């Protein structure tokens, strides 16, 4: 069964490409062949590939830049996502769409559940929330997966930023008052596969439709995430790096991030019979993968 994956060069699309699954053939397509802001390019890609389902992993993900480019973020994350959903709907196929913890305000005491009211505090978060709504309105056969703090050997992410900073510093300052769950993109790819298996069992069904939180097990602050990254890197022979824990106030950024973006995953586990591993296990596997050369420039798989 062919599955069209948008956002070819992105962390999640590339991680889907790493999966070994006999059931699905993932075909990822990117710009300029498939551009979310170009409806004709979407129609052409679907007609060419004739997928059984589409995974929309393309997005405008530059959180700080979005503050001054909100229209560009909306063009991709809202209108673009809605267009992917509509083209899928026109062909009678389901869409799996990725969304984010940044749809929440971050002032809840416990983990967020799907029924909690989103209240994004950033332009990126607003564009992603509008995208969820556009996808749901355009195609009833949708699964929206909210994930968080994605890292991998691919593209740019917090783990790779930390490893780069550690190359010429002994101490890195990282915020310790924002909580969430670091989630390895390869674990996300496995989670998406579990959703696809469920859909394939019951394509005309409606039980699986809806919005789900899908993050790794456990929780961390960005400072704890950084400490674990450095501890794992040290095990593989890299020089020691210390984390200086700071407050959000001490690390001003254009976009406001949620103080708490922990998300409960019970609904996902119940519906799809799958649970993502502990986040620390992902950090270890990611650093092993980077050391083995995965994600280096020039390597395409
Ligand atoms: N990264 C994270 O921490 C998190 C991500 N998510 C969500 O998960 C999904 C995937 O994220 P991730 O893999 O990290 O993303 P990346 O930032 O790694 O990749 C984004 C991809 O989207 C593509 N893209 C951007 N604009 C367009 C467009 N107009 N048309 C087609 N493709 C476009 C980029 O292509 P190009 O190379 O051409 O720029 C790139 O391939 C997104 O929906 C994101 O919002 C959710 C929570 C956390
Ligand atoms: C690089 C760096 C960041 N920070 C802080 C800033 C911020 O509060 C936090 C994370 O910073 P980043 O800019 O790397 O991460 P950010 O771009 O905010 O990551 C987000 O990306 C989008 C796409 C999502 O959907 C989210 O789930 C989340 O993963 O860490 C430090 O304290 N020290 C540092 O050296
Ligand atoms: Mg960033």
Residue 58 Cα to ligand 1 midpoint, Å, equals 4
pLDDT, tens digit (0-9, with 9 covering 90-100), for 44-59: 999 999 999 999 999 9
What is the CA 206 to chain-centroid distance, rounded?
A: 24
Rounded to an integer, what distance in angstroms lies between the CA atom of residue 136 and that of residue 94?
A: 11
What the block records as the tokens of 45 is 């890609």
User: pTM to 2 decimals?
Assistant: 0.97
Q: Which residue of 63, 77, 124, 215 sits with most ligand 2 atoms within 8 Å of its CB, as the best mutation to test the pocket?
A: 63
User: What CA–CA distance (Å, rounded) separates 118 from 225?
Assistant: 25
- Tokens 């929330």, located at residue: 129
Atom of ligand 2 nearest to the CA of 178: 8
294 has pLDDT over 90: no
Residue 95 near ligand 2, beta carbon < 6 Å: no
Residue 104: closest CA among 166, 156, 47, 146: 146
Reduced to 3 states (helix: H, G, I; strand: E, B; else coil), residue 159 is: helix
Which listed CATH number (3.40.50.720, 3.30.470.30, 3.20.20.240, 3.40.640.10) goes with 2-155+183-216+261-277?
3.40.50.720
* pLDDT tens, position by position, 158-196: 999 999 999 999 999 999 999 999 999 999 999 999 999
Euclidean distance between the first and the last CA atom of the chain, given in angstroms as a whole number:
20
Tokens of residue 252, six digits: 């001003």
Domain extent listing, the chain:
2-155+183-216+261-277
Q: Give the ipTM.
A: 0.98
- For residue 193, is the peptide bond before it cis, meaning its omega torsion is within 30 degrees of 0? no
Rounded distance between C-alpha atoms, residue 283 and residue 285, angstroms: 6
Cα(240) to centroid(ligand 1), Å:
32
Categorize the per-residue pLDDT at 244 as very low, low, confident or very high, splitting at 50, 70 and 90.
Answer: very high
Q: Is 6 helix (H, G, I), strand (E, B) or coil?
A: strand
Beta carbon of 279 within 6 Å of any ligand 1 atom: no
- Which H helix or E strand runs over 171? strand 171-175
151 is catalytic: no
pLDDT of residue 295: 77
What sign does the dihedral 290-238-285-184 (CA atoms) show? negative
Q: What is the mean pLDDT of residues 226-251?
A: 96
**171 burial level (CB within 10 Å; 0-12, 13-18, 19+):** exposed
Cα(149) to ligand 3 centroid in Å equals 9
């Amino acid at each position: 069964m062919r599955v069209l994956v948008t956002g070819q060069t992105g962390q999640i699309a590339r991680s889907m490409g790493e999966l070994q699954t006999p059931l699905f053939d993932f075909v990822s397509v990117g710009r300029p062949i498939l551009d979310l802001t170009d409806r004709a390019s979407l129609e052409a890609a679907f007609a060419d590939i004739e997928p059984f389902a589409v995974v929309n992993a393309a997005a405008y993900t530059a959180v700080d830049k979005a503050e001054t480019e909100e229209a560009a973020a909306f063009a991709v994350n809202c209108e673009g996502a809605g267009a992917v959903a509509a083209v899928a709907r026109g062909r009678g196929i389901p869409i799996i769409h990725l969304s984010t913890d940044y749809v929440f305000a971050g002032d809840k005491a416990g983990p967020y559940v799907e029924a909690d009211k989103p209240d994004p505090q950033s332009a990126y978060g607003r564009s992603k929330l509008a995208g969820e709504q556009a996808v749901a309105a355009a195609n009833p056969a949708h699964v929206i997966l909210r994930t968080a703090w994605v890292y991998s050997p691919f593209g740019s992410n917090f783990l790779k930023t930390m490893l780069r900073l550690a190359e010429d510093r002994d101490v890195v300052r990282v915020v310790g008052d924002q909580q969430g769950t670091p989630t390895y993109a390869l674990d996300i790819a496995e989670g998406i596969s579990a959703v696809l298996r469920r859909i394939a069992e019951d394509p005309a069904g409606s039980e699986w439709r809806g919005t789900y939180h899908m993050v790794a097990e456990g929780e961390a602050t960005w400072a704890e995430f950084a400490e674990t990254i450095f501890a794992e890197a040290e095990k593989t022979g890299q020089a020691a790096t210390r984390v200086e824990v700071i407050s959000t106030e001490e690390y001003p950024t254009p976009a406001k991030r949620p103080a708490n973006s922990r998300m409960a995953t019970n609904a996902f586990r119940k519906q799809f019979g799958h649970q993502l591993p502990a986040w620390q296990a992902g950090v270890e596997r990611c650093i092993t993968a980077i050391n083995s050369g995965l994600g280096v420039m020039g390597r395409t798989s």
